[in-house]
Structure 1
Protein backbone atom coordinates (compact mmCIF):
# COMPACT_ATOMS: atom_id res chain seq x y z
CA UNK A 1 0.00 0.00 0.00
CA UNK A 2 1.14 3.56 -0.55
CA UNK A 3 0.35 6.63 1.53
CA UNK A 4 0.41 10.22 0.34
CA UNK A 5 -0.28 13.43 2.23
CA UNK A 6 -3.14 14.95 0.20
CA UNK A 7 -2.57 18.33 1.84
CA UNK A 8 1.08 18.64 0.75
CA UNK A 9 1.13 16.21 -2.19
CA UNK A 10 4.17 14.48 -0.70
CA UNK A 11 4.64 10.73 -0.47
CA UNK A 12 4.88 9.27 3.03
CA UNK A 13 5.55 5.65 2.06
CA UNK A 14 5.19 3.27 -0.85
CA UNK A 15 5.61 -0.02 1.00
CA UNK A 16 3.16 0.28 3.87
CA UNK A 17 1.86 -2.96 5.37
CA UNK A 18 -1.59 -3.19 6.94
CA UNK A 19 -2.03 -4.64 10.43
CA UNK A 20 -5.75 -5.28 10.80
CA UNK A 21 -5.96 -8.58 12.67
CA UNK A 22 -5.38 -9.20 16.36
CA UNK A 23 -2.11 -10.98 15.62
CA UNK A 24 -0.67 -8.41 13.16
CA UNK A 25 -1.63 -5.50 15.42
CA UNK A 26 -0.05 -7.19 18.43
CA UNK A 27 3.16 -8.06 16.53
CA UNK A 28 3.44 -4.61 14.92
CA UNK A 29 7.05 -3.83 14.07
CA UNK A 30 8.55 -6.07 16.77
CA UNK A 31 11.47 -8.14 15.57
CA UNK A 32 12.58 -5.70 12.91
CA UNK A 33 15.92 -3.95 13.10
CA UNK A 34 14.82 -0.91 11.11
CA UNK A 35 12.39 0.41 8.52
CA UNK A 36 13.53 1.31 5.01
CA UNK A 37 12.58 4.87 3.94
CA UNK A 38 9.42 3.76 2.06
CA UNK A 39 8.29 1.15 4.61
CA UNK A 40 5.74 1.45 7.37
CA UNK A 41 2.79 -0.12 9.12
CA UNK A 42 -0.83 1.07 9.19
CA UNK A 43 -2.47 -0.30 12.33
CA UNK A 44 -6.25 -0.31 12.33
CA UNK A 45 -8.05 -0.08 14.56
CA UNK A 46 -5.69 1.55 17.06
CA UNK A 47 -5.86 4.60 19.29
CA UNK A 48 -2.28 4.50 20.61
CA UNK A 49 0.95 2.51 20.34
CA UNK A 50 3.96 1.29 22.28
CA UNK A 51 7.57 0.81 21.29
CA UNK A 52 8.44 -1.68 24.03
CA UNK A 53 10.99 -4.15 22.70
CA UNK A 54 11.71 -2.18 19.53
CA UNK A 55 15.24 -1.41 18.42
CA UNK A 56 14.72 1.93 16.63
CA UNK A 57 12.72 5.16 16.78
CA UNK A 58 9.63 5.68 14.61
CA UNK A 59 7.31 8.50 13.64
CA UNK A 60 3.68 7.79 14.47
CA UNK A 61 0.73 9.52 12.81
CA UNK A 62 -2.66 9.24 14.54
CA UNK A 63 -5.61 9.34 12.13
CA UNK A 64 -9.36 9.71 12.54
CA UNK A 65 -11.89 7.68 10.54
CA UNK A 66 -11.57 10.04 7.55
CA UNK A 67 -7.75 9.70 7.57
CA UNK A 68 -7.27 13.21 8.94
CA UNK A 69 -4.18 13.67 11.10
CA UNK A 70 -5.23 14.25 14.71
CA UNK A 71 -1.96 13.55 16.55
CA UNK A 72 1.76 13.26 15.74
CA UNK A 73 4.61 11.59 17.59
CA UNK A 74 8.00 12.52 16.11
CA UNK A 75 10.87 10.05 16.61
CA UNK A 76 9.16 7.97 19.29
CA UNK A 77 12.07 6.10 20.89
CA UNK A 78 12.05 2.45 22.00
CA UNK A 79 10.36 1.42 25.23
CA UNK A 80 7.68 4.12 25.31
CA UNK A 81 3.89 3.99 25.49
CA UNK A 82 1.72 6.72 23.97
CA UNK A 83 -1.44 7.98 25.58
CA UNK A 84 -4.66 6.64 24.10
CA UNK A 85 -6.56 9.30 22.15
CA UNK A 86 -10.29 8.81 21.63
CA UNK A 87 -10.24 10.71 18.29
CA UNK A 88 -7.69 8.31 16.78
CA UNK A 89 -9.06 5.29 14.90
CA UNK A 90 -5.81 4.12 13.27
CA UNK A 91 -2.10 4.87 13.39
CA UNK A 92 0.59 4.95 10.75
CA UNK A 93 4.09 3.97 11.87
CA UNK A 94 6.89 5.15 9.57
CA UNK A 95 10.64 5.72 9.83
CA UNK A 96 11.70 8.54 12.13
CA UNK A 97 11.91 11.78 10.15
CA UNK A 98 9.07 11.05 7.68
CA UNK A 99 6.66 13.46 9.42
CA UNK A 100 9.07 16.36 8.90
CA UNK A 101 10.13 15.22 5.40
CA UNK A 102 6.52 15.01 4.21
CA UNK A 103 5.46 18.25 5.89
CA UNK A 104 2.66 16.42 7.67
CA UNK A 105 0.72 18.49 10.21
CA UNK A 106 -2.36 18.04 12.36
CA UNK A 107 -5.44 18.60 10.19
CA UNK A 108 -3.87 17.21 7.01
CA UNK A 109 -5.58 14.33 5.22
CA UNK A 110 -3.73 11.20 4.09
CA UNK A 111 -4.62 9.15 1.03
CA UNK A 112 -4.32 5.38 1.54
CA UNK A 113 -3.89 3.62 -1.83
CA UNK A 114 -4.26 -0.15 -1.46
CA UNK A 115 -3.91 -0.90 -5.19
CA UNK A 116 -0.22 -1.79 -4.97
Structure 2
Protein backbone atom coordinates (compact mmCIF):
# COMPACT_ATOMS: atom_id res chain seq x y z
CA UNK A 1 0.00 0.00 0.00
CA UNK A 2 1.12 3.56 -0.61
CA UNK A 3 -0.06 6.89 0.78
CA UNK A 4 -0.94 9.91 -1.38
CA UNK A 5 -1.64 13.48 -0.30
CA UNK A 6 -4.84 14.06 -2.32
CA UNK A 7 -4.64 17.82 -1.65
CA UNK A 8 -1.24 18.18 -3.34
CA UNK A 9 -1.11 15.01 -5.44
CA UNK A 10 2.24 14.08 -3.88
CA UNK A 11 3.20 10.57 -2.82
CA UNK A 12 3.85 10.58 0.93
CA UNK A 13 4.94 6.96 1.45
CA UNK A 14 5.65 4.22 -1.07
CA UNK A 15 5.01 1.37 1.38
CA UNK A 16 2.66 1.21 4.35
CA UNK A 17 2.28 -1.61 6.85
CA UNK A 18 -0.92 -1.96 8.87
CA UNK A 19 -1.23 -2.49 12.64
CA UNK A 20 -4.90 -3.22 13.26
CA UNK A 21 -4.87 -5.87 15.97
CA UNK A 22 -4.26 -5.28 19.67
CA UNK A 23 -0.79 -6.84 19.60
CA UNK A 24 0.31 -5.10 16.39
CA UNK A 25 -0.99 -1.74 17.63
CA UNK A 26 0.71 -2.20 20.99
CA UNK A 27 4.06 -3.18 19.43
CA UNK A 28 4.01 -0.58 16.65
CA UNK A 29 7.62 0.34 15.88
CA UNK A 30 9.00 -0.58 19.32
CA UNK A 31 12.33 -2.33 19.17
CA UNK A 32 12.89 -1.63 15.48
CA UNK A 33 16.20 -0.08 14.46
CA UNK A 34 14.53 2.20 11.94
CA UNK A 35 12.41 2.41 8.82
CA UNK A 36 13.59 2.32 5.24
CA UNK A 37 13.05 5.66 3.48
CA UNK A 38 9.49 5.90 2.14
CA UNK A 39 8.13 3.23 4.51
CA UNK A 40 5.59 3.76 7.30
CA UNK A 41 3.07 2.21 9.66
CA UNK A 42 -0.69 2.80 9.97
CA UNK A 43 -2.13 2.16 13.43
CA UNK A 44 -5.92 1.81 13.57
CA UNK A 45 -7.87 2.66 15.64
CA UNK A 46 -5.64 5.21 17.32
CA UNK A 47 -5.94 8.68 18.82
CA UNK A 48 -2.73 8.83 20.89
CA UNK A 49 0.70 7.22 20.66
CA UNK A 50 3.88 6.73 22.67
CA UNK A 51 7.48 6.24 21.62
CA UNK A 52 8.67 4.19 24.59
CA UNK A 53 11.23 1.51 23.69
CA UNK A 54 11.82 3.09 20.29
CA UNK A 55 15.28 3.75 18.89
CA UNK A 56 14.56 6.57 16.44
CA UNK A 57 12.44 9.71 16.02
CA UNK A 58 9.26 9.58 13.92
CA UNK A 59 6.81 11.89 12.21
CA UNK A 60 3.18 11.19 13.08
CA UNK A 61 -0.03 12.06 11.22
CA UNK A 62 -3.32 11.85 13.13
CA UNK A 63 -6.08 11.27 10.58
CA UNK A 64 -9.88 11.43 10.85
CA UNK A 65 -12.36 8.87 9.57
CA UNK A 66 -12.83 10.99 6.44
CA UNK A 67 -9.03 10.94 5.85
CA UNK A 68 -8.33 14.56 6.85
CA UNK A 69 -5.09 15.25 8.68
CA UNK A 70 -5.94 16.56 12.16
CA UNK A 71 -2.45 16.86 13.65
CA UNK A 72 1.15 16.54 12.48
CA UNK A 73 3.94 15.73 14.95
CA UNK A 74 7.41 16.34 13.57
CA UNK A 75 10.39 14.28 14.76
CA UNK A 76 8.80 12.85 17.92
CA UNK A 77 11.72 11.46 19.90
CA UNK A 78 11.84 8.18 21.87
CA UNK A 79 10.30 8.12 25.35
CA UNK A 80 7.44 10.57 24.66
CA UNK A 81 3.64 10.39 24.78
CA UNK A 82 1.40 12.36 22.43
CA UNK A 83 -1.75 14.17 23.44
CA UNK A 84 -5.06 12.53 22.60
CA UNK A 85 -6.20 13.93 19.26
CA UNK A 86 -9.98 14.20 19.28
CA UNK A 87 -11.57 12.77 16.13
CA UNK A 88 -8.50 10.76 15.13
CA UNK A 89 -9.38 7.38 13.60
CA UNK A 90 -5.84 6.30 12.78
CA UNK A 91 -2.22 7.44 12.74
CA UNK A 92 0.49 7.09 10.17
CA UNK A 93 4.05 6.92 11.45
CA UNK A 94 7.13 7.46 9.31
CA UNK A 95 10.73 8.55 9.55
CA UNK A 96 11.41 11.90 11.18
CA UNK A 97 11.06 14.84 8.76
CA UNK A 98 9.69 12.59 6.03
CA UNK A 99 5.94 13.09 6.55
CA UNK A 100 5.93 16.57 8.04
CA UNK A 101 7.56 17.99 4.90
CA UNK A 102 4.75 16.63 2.69
CA UNK A 103 1.57 17.06 4.75
CA UNK A 104 -0.14 19.80 6.71
CA UNK A 105 -3.24 19.96 8.91
CA UNK A 106 -6.38 19.87 6.78
CA UNK A 107 -4.85 17.91 3.90
CA UNK A 108 -6.71 14.84 2.69
CA UNK A 109 -4.79 11.60 2.29
CA UNK A 110 -5.56 8.40 0.45
CA UNK A 111 -4.19 4.90 0.99
CA UNK A 112 -3.93 2.87 -2.21
| Alignment partner, residue 107 of structure 1 | 106
| Alignment partner, residue 79 of structure 2 | 79
Aligned length: 112
- How far apart are residue 100 of structure 1 and its match? 3.7
1:55 aligns with 2:55: yes
- How far apart are residue 99 of structure 1 and its match? 2.6
- 1:62 and 1:13 map into 2 onto residues whose CA distance is 15
| Alignment partner, residue 26 of structure 2 | 26
Deviant stretches of 4+, over 2 Å = none
| Alignment partner, residue 13 of structure 2 | 13
* Partner SS for 1:26: helix
- 1:2 and 1:94 map into 2 onto residues whose CA distance is 12
- Aligned partners of 2:16 and 2:41 also within 8 Å: yes
Two-structure CA RMSD over aligned residues (Å): 0.9
Query: Once the two structures are superposed, what CA deviation does each residue of 1:51-75 show, in whole Å capped at 9, x if it has no partner?
Result: 0110000000000001100011000
* Partner SS for 2:54: coil
1:64 aligns with 2:64: yes
Q: Which runs of 5+ in 2 are unaligned?
A: none
TM-score (norm 1): 0.93
